[in-house]
């Protein structure tokens, strides 16, 4: 089902693009304006896919409705900072190692680096975050979908899809849904409560897409 479906590829790529942009760094004002444009249509489309997706978009619409337009960017940035940066201690630690062991820079990071090496990904100089951060793992999926998109033939596309299935099964789907639920429950999460619910719902959609690739045995 996944092979040769250009519309499905673009749909998945679009959601990963969005999620990477929202978790990589503080959301820019231009991105918030883009999200507010046509949000009713986004909610309606999401209802046809998964209830959590629709719920997340509804939460974001509520944030836009309740926050003065001139305060949108500052409010969202402040929320991102409190949840993920500090100043003293972040509310949520969005790292695979933390969710497996309660510590940063632990064995899960080494396992992830081994996987990344097999598919040809290496962290560039200047990026200080460990590769098992939520944003980086979402970026890995976006990169893998890009490789699938540029595949020269169906067998090559199948190979990149298998890498996606392996990465979801061994890494992203094992801990990121729990991380999303923690963000949803975090005190002071409003905009990012909606973002986290979208992430949670989208990962469930991904799980369903890849059932025939072995994710039913997670």
HEC sequence for 189-204:
CCHHHHHHHHHHHHHH
Q: What's the confidence (pLDDT) of residue 216?
A: 62
Does residue 120 surpass a pLDDT of 60? yes
Q: 133 φ, ψ to 5°?
A: -70, 155
Per-residue confidence band for 218, with pLDDT thresholds at 50, 70 and 90: low
182 neighbors 92 (Cβ within 8 angstroms): yes
For 33-50, write each residue's pLDDT tens digit: 999 999 999 999 999 999
Q: Is 176 exposed, middle or buried (0-12, 13-18, 19+ CB in 10 A)?
A: buried
Burial class (CB in 10 A: 0-12, 13-18, 19+), 114: exposed
List pLDDT tens digits, range 153-210.
Answer: 999 999 999 999 999 999 999 999 999 999 999 999 999 999 999 999 999 999 999 9
Please indicate, yes or no, whether the overall pTM of this predicted structure exceeds 0.85. yes
Q: Nearest Cα to 2, choosing from 144, 176, 213? A: 213
Question: Is the model's pLDDT at 90 over the cut of 90?
Answer: no
CA distance 69 to 56: 20
4-17 tens-digit pLDDT: 999 999 999 999 99
* pLDDT value for 213: 84
pLDDT recorded at residue 13 = 97
């Amino acid at each position: 089902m996944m092979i040769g479906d250009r519309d499905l590829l673009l749909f998945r790529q679009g959601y990963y693009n969005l999620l990477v942009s929202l978790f990589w760094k503080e959301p820019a004002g231009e991105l918030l304006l883009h999200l507010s444009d046509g949000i009713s249509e986004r909610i309606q489309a999401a209802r046809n896919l998964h209830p959590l997706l629709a719920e997340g978009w509804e939460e974001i619409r509520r944030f836009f409705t309740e926050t003065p337009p001139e305060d949108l960017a500052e409010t969202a940035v402040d929320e991102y900072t409190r949840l993920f940066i500090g100043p003293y201690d972040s509310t949520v630690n969005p790292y695979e190692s933390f969710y497996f062991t309660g510590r940063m820079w632990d064995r899960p990071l080494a396992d992830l680096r081994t996987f990344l090496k097999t598919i040809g990904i290496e962290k560039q100089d200047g990026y200080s975050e460990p590769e098992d951060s939520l944003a980086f793992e979402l970026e890995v999926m976006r990169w893998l979908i890009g490789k699938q998109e540029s595949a020269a033939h169906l067998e090559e596309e199948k190979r990149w899809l298998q890498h996606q299935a392996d990465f979801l099964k061994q890494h992203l789907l094992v801990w990121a849904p729990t991380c999303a639920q923690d963000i949803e429950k975090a005190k002071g999460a409003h905009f990012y409560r909606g973002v986290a619910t979208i992430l949670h719902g989208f990962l469930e959609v991904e799980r369903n897409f890849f059932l025939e690739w072995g994710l039913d045995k997670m």
